[in-house]
């Protein structure tokens, strides 16, 4: 498993803490920026990480902005992406188990560094359950592909 990580200025604080965690645990990652507190546009980083995850099935994504919302919206426009905003441990676990999310999104103005590291750790170490959840995730894909029918 590899990790693609990115942020805007609002998420730089928690991204830096997560990168320390990735290094300490020997997890291979690519940092798609941003790298300073200068104001930037979150769709750029949402897109870069989402594209990397979409193109590589062995890669999970981590995205951080002020709230986690704008960058998740941006990532979710890329085909094959299921990006989930998480603010607590239960959400980080369940979005892997039930939604097969491939990107976790967090807000640097919502949670602190320790919580961001904890949620990332849970997300990266939880497997998709499959079974009845496969059908539902497939329905999300069908909506994306324009083939969903009721
Ligand atoms: C940047 O000020 C802020 O709008 C951004 O980080 C994010 O919270 C958007 O959803």
Give the residue numbers marked as catalytic. Answer: 65, 98
Which residue is closest in CA terms to ligand 1's atom 3? 66
Residue 32 in contact with ligand 1 by CB distance below 6 A = no
Q: Is the CB of 67 under 6 A from ligand 1?
A: yes
Q: 91 alpha carbon to ligand 1 midpoint, in Å?
A: 21
Per-residue DSSP letter, 132: H
What is each CA distance from 64 to 11, 37, 60, 131, 137, in whole angstroms?
A: 4, 13, 14, 30, 24
- Determine the residue of 41, 71, 73, 87 to mutate for testing ligand 1's pocket, defined as the one with the most ligand atoms within 8 A of the Cβ atom: 71
With a 6 Å cutoff on the Cβ, whether 8 touches ligand 1 is yes
Binding site membership of 69 for ligand 1 (Cβ less than 6 Å): yes
33 lines ligand 1 (CB under 6 A): no
Quick one: CA dihedral 1, 136, 117, 40, positive or negative? positive
Contact 9, 34 (CB under 8 A): yes
The pLDDT profile of the chain, 150 residues, written as one tens digit per residue, is 999 999 999 999 999 999 999 999 999 999 999 999 999 999 999 999 999 999 999 999 999 999 999 999 999 999 999 999 999 999 999 999 999 999 999 999 999 999 999 999 999 999 999 999 999 999 999 999 999 999
For residue range 13-50, list pLDDT tens digits in order: 999 999 999 999 999 999 999 999 999 999 999 999 99
CA-nearest residue for atom 9, ligand 1, is 70
């Amino acid at each position: 498993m590899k990790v693609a990580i990115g942020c805007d200025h609002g998420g730089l604080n928690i991204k830096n803490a997560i990168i320390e965690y990735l290094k300490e645990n020997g997890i291979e990652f690519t940092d798609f920026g941003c790298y300073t507190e200068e104001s930037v546009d979150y769709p750029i980083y949402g897109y870069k990480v989402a594209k990397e995850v979409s193109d590589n099935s062995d890669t999970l994504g981590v995205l951080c902005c002020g709230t986690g919302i704008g960058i998740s919206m941006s990532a979710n426009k890329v085909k094959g992406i299921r990006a989930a905003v998480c603010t607590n441990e239960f959400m980080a676990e369940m979005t892997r188990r039930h939604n097969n999310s491939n990107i976790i999104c967090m807000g640097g103005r919502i949670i602190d560094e320790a919580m961001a590291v904890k949620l990332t750790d849970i997300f990266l170490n939880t497997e998709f359950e499959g079974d009845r959840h496969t059908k539902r995730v497939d329905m999300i894909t069908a909506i994306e592909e324009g083939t969903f029918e009721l």
